[in-house]
A and B are shown apart, each in its own frame.
Chain A
Amino acid sequence: MNAAFRISGAGRLSQAKTASFSFDDKPYIGIEGDTLASALLANGVHLVGRSFKYHRPRGFLSAGAEEPNALVQIVRDDARKTPNVRATVQELYDGLTANSQNRWPSLAFDVGALNDIASPLFSAGFYYKTFMWPKWAWKDLYEPKIRAAAGLGVSPDKPDPDHYAARYAHCEVLVLGGGAAGIAAALAAAETGVRVILADEQAEFGGSLRFESGARIDGQGGYAWAQAAIAKLKAMDNVRVLSRTTAFGYYAQNFVGLVERVSDHLKSPGRELARERLWQVRAKRVVIATGAIERHMVFANNDRPGVMLASAARTYLNHYGVAVGRNIGVYTANDSAYAAAIDLKKAGINIAAIVDLRDNPAGPVIDEARALGIEINFGRAVVSAGGKLRVSSMTVQPKNGGGERTIPVDAILMSAGWTPSVHLFSQSRGKVAFNDATKRFVPGTYAQDCVSVGTCCGTDGLAASVDEAYAAGAKAAKEAGGKAGKGAKPKVDAGESWSRGMLGAAPGAGPGTTVKAFVDFQNDVTAKDIRQAVHEGMHSIEHVKRFTTNGMATDQGKTSNMHGLAIAAETLGKPIPQVGLTTFRAPYTPVTFGSIVGHARGALFDPTRRTATHGWAASHGAVFEDVGHWKRAWYFPKAGEDMHAAVDRECVTVRKAAGLFDASTLGKIEVVGPDAAKFMELLYTNPWEKLETGRCRYGIMLREDGFIYDDGVVGRLAPDRFHVTTTTGGAPRVMNHMEDYLQTEFPHLNVWLTSITEQWAVIAVQGPKSRDIIAPLVDGIDMSDEAMPHMSVREGKICGVPTRLFRMSFTGERGFEVNVPADYGEAVWEALWAEGQKHGATAYGTETMHVLRAEKGYIIVGQDTDGTVTPNDAGLDWAVGKKKTDFVGIRGLTRPDLVAKGRKQLVGLKTKDPKVVLEEGAQIVADPKQAIPMKMIGHVTSSYWSENCGRSIALALVAGGRDRMGQTLYVPMPNGTIEVEVTGMVFVDEKGERLNG
């Protein structure tokens, strides 16, 4: 059974293939190939939404991507509830469920529509002016209420279950837009043999040929020609044809973002299909053939459901076989609306009247309309649309005033002219130019290797567009390396042509009027609002736009920008080009986050790095923490232990017996070559030339400004070979810093740098029993104190595999770091663990590592330093080679501010109450009774409970800290002020004797 407004014999859909769907829980029947819009219109449904601000009833303005009104929520299941879908773009599938938005309790009766009655209160800039006071009310009262009342659809509240694909593509010629011009350009380019990509946002190619019943090309109807041409292109190996694909962004060097809607039109997409596919295309040449968008007339109540663009009504009729009404009025300022009236009249629909603002237009379409017996009124305006939930009449008046006449209608078709779609051209940084004769902005100066053709370039007439596009396609292909094409140019036998029209408010909505004549439907901006913005001092179009929000909705002002600009220009008394156009920005139409993110989410969002012992740690109950990309064992709780208990036990065990710790994540760089020592001298503050082979040194790296950049223990394996360690997080930037100096400042040095972080697994064995644990497994290394003192490195074997065995300590205990090839890391760990068990050793994680080093006052770069700390500030002056004449940072260190008195220095803090553990980052003051804001003299950088000390310990950066030893300072916190005493940084074994025994 046909829906009431489906015209038999009209349109291109097969009426046999029905699809059932629901809108606001009411069932309807449509046809396969329908959009949700055409299917609803076929059922006589015009009212589909409520407007953003005034909650005015709204219907369909357009039949395409420019739609500002008909935004609906498409619900597939619990997790798939897509808001703000343009019903004019959503293809119908059997079982589609759609709901209207921004209405309560129902679409026909919406309480929010009170805003429309109270609209004098809600004029432009209303929010800025009204909700200023009291200050507290914005966050707690105004904003939540406004957000509840305004707003669009409802966001889904579950994770997106769909997946999104991504492709990179390269081509010689990329054609954007698959109307007559785009197809002609693609044909010309394809015939030369170069790689061509043709993309169009619609499901079927053809663009305006979908509705232009008068077009004939190569002896057939325009739309049929387009389908034949697309079939030909699809059959060519060098051509990729993408439908349902929107070019949303034009970036530098002909890099264009396309998003292909893969399965939103399918009833059951299945898991194997992506929902959307992002194409990132790099093209040698781009042909922009994006066409033009019809503008509405700006008159009172021009937003009533049933009032729509003439070309939209024509598309619904000629493509979908749907009449948008039975008694239709037409209001136009150019020829194109006549064609709509003619097509509808021929389909048996009554045209109540054509109202033409022009005085005495002439032309074939006007003659044809007259011959069909349609009433035509020149020099008149529609000053108001009647009706509320659906237009019921139009009130016509001579444009210079006079008697009104009200004509009953059930739809009004309007056309103020056509706006070239220069969005992508403008995004390519091309400059638009205003053509004063045709009152439109067209491409002016190009910034990239692209060309605009057809109506988006201001070319009028089908024949001229096709000729221009075919030539441009051939030229682009040739410039990109194509051979001469052998094809024939499409011959346009008949086409439609129109230009001109009007910009700005129509009579009845001019200056001094207070009617609601909408310029921007989606953001509810009227002609009056734009005038008011100018009157209130917004003279730049960018200011007018932001004050009124004209063109700022998700439709990006596709229908409203030119009207808004014209009204602003008229009010300012300036010509349009002097007022200027607002900037076009990507995306052309809304793009889902899913398509941008693609596969890079969840586990694939960021790489995860795991050390060789990760599996062992996991199976021994380790809790992990993220350190950069690394997963590091944080602590190893035994049954019943919380974090504090585990860390306390680990800390005590290391100092009493021993502990094993995976230190593999520390950055490791091998510095090799005849000039390795010279290079080290330049990159670190310490002296290196005299460091003996087999010995280690703690090195500090500065930036040129004198601040600490990184630190780590460096072992000299041979006269020309250093094994450098860095902080875990610093490894890549230290490598970059070293390479930078080696390649650009010290290229005369014969040195090679190799990152070996991943090559060596590092097992720290720390504690009084550490040597006893390692020694039985080692071959060829004398581990006695005499042969291998603290800060030495030996090469040999452990468990039969090569090792670089460092004697070093980040705990203050006798300690070793066993480096073995990463593949053996887990096996060697297991062997050391088995030995360790005999001596009561524990495995420990990063938290215990932090506590143990803080007990010894060893700093962590990036925690106890923040990029403004010098070696002196950190108490590390001893590590700066006083006799050296050069190293990176040597000059920075003598800058006046870096040697000034009163700098913040690293000190220890002990809370007066030993049980209180300070918060890291807490601010420190000298006088807790001073007025707020207090003078802060420093902050806590590290703070822990130390079970070994039986109290809390902390490190802090404090102004003039080393002169404050023994002083009482204060840490004000929300729950009271904490008293602290300034102390040295070493809390355990101040003399450092445990390192040796």
Chain B
Amino acid sequence: MLLIRCPYCEEERPELEFRNAGEAHIARPTNIAAESDDDFEKFFFIRANPKGVIYERWRHIHGCARFFNAVRDTVTDRFVMTYKAGEPKPAKLPGASK
């Protein structure tokens, strides 16, 4: 079982308290009704699904109930970092220089 650090509770909690909520940093267009079919497809259906570092949303559903963002390596399942919803995509990851 993974341990996940909730950036709101500021502690590591067991995976059972959390739920994955899909890829992060995909903002809903402000004028969504005017989106072209292609743009809507990219927004709604197309996901990166990388082998390696993924930016994704999690919810501490059985804890503080907040949504937050996480950087996870899909190969090792290791959580590189977590940060609050609304914060920008981190420019540099901890340990990335190694």
A residues with CB within 8 A of B: 251-253, 255, 280, 282, 429, 447, 704-705, 736, 739-740, 743-745, 747, 885-886, 890-892, 894-896
What 6 new A-B contacts, CB under 8 Å, besides A739-B67, A744-B86, A892-B44?
A252-B78, A429-B76, A447-B76, A704-B28, A736-B19, A740-B67
B17 interface hit (Cβ, 8 Å):
no
Distance A883 CA – B2 CA, assembled complex (angstroms): 47
**Which residues of A have CB within 8 Å of B66?**
743
9 contacts between A and B (CB under 8 A): A252-B1, A252-B2, A890-B32, A890-B33, A891-B33, A891-B35, A892-B40, A895-B37, A896-B37
B3/A744 in contact, CB under 8 A:
no
Distance A744 CA – B1 CA, assembled complex (angstroms): 27
| A743/B33 contact (C-beta < 8 A), A282-B3, A429-B76, A891-B40 known | no
| A747/B86 contact (C-beta < 8 A), A736-B59, A736-B61, A740-B21 known | yes
Min CB distance, A754 to chain B, in Å? 11
Distance A251 CA – B76 CA, assembled complex (angstroms): 11
Nearest 7 pairs between A and B by C-beta?
Answer: A891-B32, A743-B67, A745-B28, A890-B33, A255-B1, A253-B3, A252-B2
Min CB distance, B21 to chain A, in Å? 7
Partner of A886, one of B2, B32, B67, B86: B32
Min CB distance, B53 to chain A, in Å? 16
Which positions 7-55 of chain B face chain A at CB distance < 8 Å? 19, 21, 27-28, 31-33, 35, 37, 40, 44
Chain A: CB-nearest residue to B34: A891
Min CB distance, A731 to chain B, in Å? 14
Distance A705 CA – B65 CA, assembled complex (angstroms): 25
**Which residues of B have CB within 8 Å of A885?**
33
B28/A705 in contact, CB under 8 A:
no
| A895/B40 contact (C-beta < 8 A), A740-B21, A744-B67 known | yes
Min CB distance, A666 to chain B, in Å? 21
A744/B77 in contact, CB under 8 A:
no
Distance A747 CA – B28 CA, assembled complex (angstroms): 12
Chain B: CB-nearest residue to A741: B28
Distance A744 CA – B40 CA, assembled complex (angstroms): 19
Distance A251 CA – B40 CA, assembled complex (angstroms): 39
B80 interface hit (Cβ, 8 Å):
no
Distance A745 CA – B30 CA, assembled complex (angstroms): 10
Min CB distance, A713 to chain B, in Å? 25
**Which residues of B have CB within 8 Å of A886?**
31-33
B40/A743 in contact, CB under 8 A:
no
**Which residues of A have CB within 8 Å of B61?**
736
**Which residues of B have CB within 8 Å of A705?**
44
Distance A885 CA – B85 CA, assembled complex (angstroms): 26
Distance A964 CA – B32 CA, assembled complex (angstroms): 35
A253/B76 in contact, CB under 8 A:
no
B21/A252 in contact, CB under 8 A:
no
**Which residues of B have CB within 8 Å of A255?**
1
Partner of B57, one of A251, A744, A894: A744
**Which residues of A have CB within 8 Å of B59?**
736, 739-740
A252/B86 in contact, CB under 8 A:
no
Distance A429 CA – B86 CA, assembled complex (angstroms): 34
Min CB distance, A748 to chain B, in Å? 11
B3/A743 in contact, CB under 8 A:
no
Distance A544 CA – B68 CA, assembled complex (angstroms): 46
Which positions 58-84 of chain B face chain A at CB distance < 8 Å? 59, 61, 65-67, 76-78
A744/B85 in contact, CB under 8 A:
yes
Min CB distance, A242 to chain B, in Å? 20
Distance A891 CA – B32 CA, assembled complex (angstroms): 6
A704/B77 in contact, CB under 8 A:
no
**Which residues of B have CB within 8 Å of A736?**
19, 59, 61
Min CB distance, B9 to chain A, in Å? 15
Chain B: CB-nearest residue to A746: B28
B67/A704 in contact, CB under 8 A:
no
**Which residues of B have CB within 8 Å of A890?**
32-33
Distance A891 CA – B35 CA, assembled complex (angstroms): 7
Distance A442 CA – B3 CA, assembled complex (angstroms): 28
Distance A1 CA – B68 CA, assembled complex (angstroms): 72
**Which residues of B have CB within 8 Å of A740?**
21, 59, 67
**Which residues of A have CB within 8 Å of B40?**
891-892, 895
**Which residues of B have CB within 8 Å of A704?**
28, 44
Distance A760 CA – B63 CA, assembled complex (angstroms): 24
Which of A744, A745, A895 has most chain B Cβ within 10 Å?
A744
**Which residues of B have CB within 8 Å of A892?**
40, 44
Chain A: CB-nearest residue to B44: A704
**Which residues of A have CB within 8 Å of B28?**
704, 745
**Which residues of A have CB within 8 Å of B19?**
736
**Which residues of B have CB within 8 Å of A252?**
1-2, 77-78
B85/A743 in contact, CB under 8 A:
yes
A251/B44 in contact, CB under 8 A:
no
Min CB distance, A235 to chain B, in Å? 32
Which of B2, B32, B65 has most chain A Cβ within 10 Å?
B32
Min CB distance, A282 to chain B, in Å? 7
**Which residues of B have CB within 8 Å of A744?**
57, 67, 85-86
**Which residues of A have CB within 8 Å of B44?**
704-705, 892
Min CB distance, A743 to chain B, in Å? 5
Chain B: CB-nearest residue to A704: B44
Min CB distance, A410 to chain B, in Å? 51
Min CB distance, B69 to chain A, in Å? 9
Distance A481 CA – B97 CA, assembled complex (angstroms): 26
**Which residues of A have CB within 8 Å of B33?**
885-886, 890-891, 894
Which of A253, A705, A739, A890 has most chain B Cβ within 10 Å?
A253
**Which residues of B have CB within 8 Å of A747?**
85-86
Min CB distance, B25 to chain A, in Å? 11
**Which residues of A have CB within 8 Å of B85?**
743-744, 747
**Which residues of A have CB within 8 Å of B2?**
252-253
Min CB distance, A143 to chain B, in Å? 37
Distance A974 CA – B1 CA, assembled complex (angstroms): 48
Distance A30 CA – B42 CA, assembled complex (angstroms): 73
Distance A198 CA – B87 CA, assembled complex (angstroms): 43
**Which residues of A have CB within 8 Å of B1?**
251-253, 255, 280
Distance A282 CA – B12 CA, assembled complex (angstroms): 12
Min CB distance, A505 to chain B, in Å? 37
Min CB distance, B67 to chain A, in Å? 5
Min CB distance, A583 to chain B, in Å? 15
**Which residues of A have CB within 8 Å of B35?**
891
Distance A362 CA – B57 CA, assembled complex (angstroms): 64
**Which residues of A have CB within 8 Å of B21?**
740
**Which residues of A have CB within 8 Å of B77?**
252
Distance A896 CA – B38 CA, assembled complex (angstroms): 11
Distance A253 CA – B21 CA, assembled complex (angstroms): 22
Chain A: CB-nearest residue to B28: A745
Distance A890 CA – B61 CA, assembled complex (angstroms): 27
**Which residues of A have CB within 8 Å of B32?**
886, 890-891
Which of B33, B59, B61 has most chain A Cβ within 10 Å?
B33
Distance A572 CA – B78 CA, assembled complex (angstroms): 37
Min CB distance, B37 to chain A, in Å? 7
Min CB distance, B33 to chain A, in Å? 5
Distance A253 CA – B3 CA, assembled complex (angstroms): 7
Distance A747 CA – B1 CA, assembled complex (angstroms): 31
Min CB distance, B15 to chain A, in Å? 9
Distance A476 CA – B84 CA, assembled complex (angstroms): 33
Min CB distance, A741 to chain B, in Å? 8
Chain A: CB-nearest residue to B30: A886
**Which residues of B have CB within 8 Å of A739?**
59, 65, 67
Min CB distance, B77 to chain A, in Å? 5
**Which residues of B have CB within 8 Å of A891?**
32-33, 35, 40
**Which residues of B have CB within 8 Å of A253?**
1-3
Distance A736 CA – B22 CA, assembled complex (angstroms): 13
Distance A580 CA – B19 CA, assembled complex (angstroms): 37
Distance A110 CA – B37 CA, assembled complex (angstroms): 71
Chain A: CB-nearest residue to B77: A252
Min CB distance, B73 to chain A, in Å? 11
Distance A62 CA – B37 CA, assembled complex (angstroms): 67
